[in-house]
Amino acid sequence: MKVGLRQSMAFLHTWAGLLFGWLLLAVFVTGTTAYFQDEITRWMQPEIKGERHLVASAEGAVDYMRQHAQGVETWSIQLPGKRSVAAMGYWKEKGETYLQWRDHAFMVDGRGVRVDARDTTGGWLLYRLHFDLHYVPVLWGRWTVGLAAMFMLVAIVSGVITHRRIFADFFTLRLGKGQRSWLDAHNLGAVLALPFHVMITYTGLVTLQAAYMPWGIAAAYERPADYHRELTGIDAPPTRSGTFAASAPIADMIAQARARWNGADPGFIAILIPGDANSVVKITQDTGTSMATRGETLTFDAATGHMRTPPASRGGAAMTESVMVGLHAGRFAPPALRWLYFLSGLMGSAMVATGLVLWTAKRRLRLPDPTRPHVGFRLVERLNVATIAGLPFGIAVYFIANRLLPSAMTHRAAWEANWLFIGWGALLLYVFLRPPRRVWIESLSMVAVAYLAVPAVNALTTDRGLLRSFVAGDLVFAGFDLSMLVTAAGFAFAAWKLFRRPLARVRETRSRRERIA
């Protein structure tokens, strides 16, 4: 028997979508929040105030490490981008791996003064969740997400073939018609942002192409490290001379870098074997200053402040890759474009969520007995609630934990992350323990309450509540709190809609079945 193209594509779309849908939803949701990563981090460190002054914070960080970290291997400074205030400095001692940097990290504000900010991973956690997952080795996470992204590409192509009416019904959303409405919403989320979905999935795979397709590098380079060195322009570390030499002012080197980059800001500074006569300063361009995200790295002799010969400009392939990664991460995006990115990300999340719900909506009417569905149906139904409501709930709990955990707590940042998963896990448990009939309404209401609580807890525990930041014209803090309220309203609206509907639908289904019988 021959199966038509559309049917076989529909099968592929349905099952690839279901199998990876829950993971893809998490990837879409956390990825969407990552467009406001810097703003989230700022909200999660309310101790950091004032204006951004890039040079002053760099000088402050160098001064601090000069006093507290002599004789170590590396000083690193993550400079504030246009949307941040503080620089983060950290050092690495001999024998430590780069994973231990958190042990020696500190924040410096725009005055060049060290700020005792609470220990948090901020928006960075959600960004890393997006492609590294959590509690699993980074490589496993990336392989899993990469596999899901491949299936996302499959789902996009097979979806365009399966839902052939998406172009004829381009603007169609019929409300209050059960399965029909879910299908319309799924199609709208997909088709209205289709260029974004294709771009984001494809470039997402490109961001980690070296991990997914290592064989090209393996064929051309003896060691993978050689490839990365050539790509990033970072050569072998300098050797110690043993003689002390004071470093030239960092501000001069920043000025030289800016002059070479037509005024674009540096984003990262690494000072290798600081204090030694052979010490070297590496200054990398900020990833947010151009659509091509991989900025140039310049090398200076620390003792003289003299810039070495800049690296040769990169080839076409490396530039293409850099622009693709830049398009994906959207770091270059000015505020208006950032919101457009965010909206497209929400549409993608909605597309995956409605697709998951559609799977159950389609099958519910065909069940032998809708009041007692089979095990597979119940599992999918509950996993849907546990993901669609559970992850947003966990994120709200993460934000609340940021305000409530004591600031002196050991492993505080790790515990904030744990609370995200405790919140998510608790909702998952709840979903599996409650009778299915009301579980959607109850879960969505809980999410709404959690997001309502975020600005409330913020106002109670800091001096930067919504009202004050609104009066002070603090767009980041007011914007964050308002976004929480809008999110709460969205989930509350969904719960309220469900509260008004389900009885009618069950009745309708039953009477239709009776008619058939």
Partner 1 sequence: MIALCILAALAGFVGLSFGMTRHQRDVLGRTLAPSTSLRWRIVGWTGVALSLVLAAIRDGAALGTVYWLGELTVAALAVALGTTWRGSRRGASPVREPSGER
The residues that touch partner 1, with contacts defined as CB under 8 A, are 168-177, 188, 192-193, 195-196, 291, 327, 332-333, 336-337, 340-341, 343-344, 347, 504
CB of 168 to partner 1, least distance (A): 6
Degrees (nearest 5) of the Cα angle 119, 289, 98? Answer: 40
CB of 357 to partner 1, least distance (A): 18
157 versus 343: smaller Cβ distance to partner 1? 343
324 versus 397: smaller Cβ distance to partner 1? 324
The Cα 12–Cα 412 span in angstroms is: 44
CB of 391 to partner 1, least distance (A): 23
193 versus 298: smaller Cβ distance to partner 1? 193
The Cα 89–Cα 62 span in angstroms is: 8
DSSP symbol at 166: G
Residue 330: partners with Cβ closer than 8 Å, 6 or more residues away: 35, 337, 338, 341
DSSP secondary structure letters along 500-513: HSHHHHHHHHHHHH
CA distances, 357 to each of 22, 383, 400 (Å): 11, 10, 29
277 versus 343: smaller Cβ distance to partner 1? 343
306-307: strand order across its sheet: 114-115, 105-108, 87-92, 74-78, 266-272, 280-285, 297-301, 306-307
172 versus 278: smaller Cβ distance to partner 1? 172
347 versus 395: smaller Cβ distance to partner 1? 347
The three-state secondary structure class of 299 is: strand
Q: Could you give the dihedral angle defined by the CA atoms of residues 88, 92, 96 and 97, in that order, rounded to the nearest 10 degrees?
A: 50
Residue 227: partners with Cβ closer than 8 Å, 6 or more residues away: 210, 217, 220, 221
The Cα 418–Cα 495 span in angstroms is: 27
228 versus 500: smaller Cβ distance to partner 1? 500
CB of 170 to partner 1, least distance (A): 7
The Cα 77–Cα 74 span in angstroms is: 10
Q: Which two tokens stand for residue 121?
A: 């991973």
277 versus 291: smaller Cβ distance to partner 1? 291
The Cα 177–Cα 182 span in angstroms is: 8
Q: Which amino acid, 252?
A: D
How many Å is the maximal CA-CA distance in the chain? Answer: 94
CB of 396 to partner 1, least distance (A): 26
The Cα 402–Cα 447 span in angstroms is: 17
The three-state secondary structure class of 133 is: coil
CB of 192 to partner 1, least distance (A): 5
CB of 332 to partner 1, least distance (A): 8
1 versus 175: smaller Cβ distance to partner 1? 175
344 versus 354: smaller Cβ distance to partner 1? 344
Report how far apart the first and last C-alpha atoms of the chain are (Å, whole number).
33
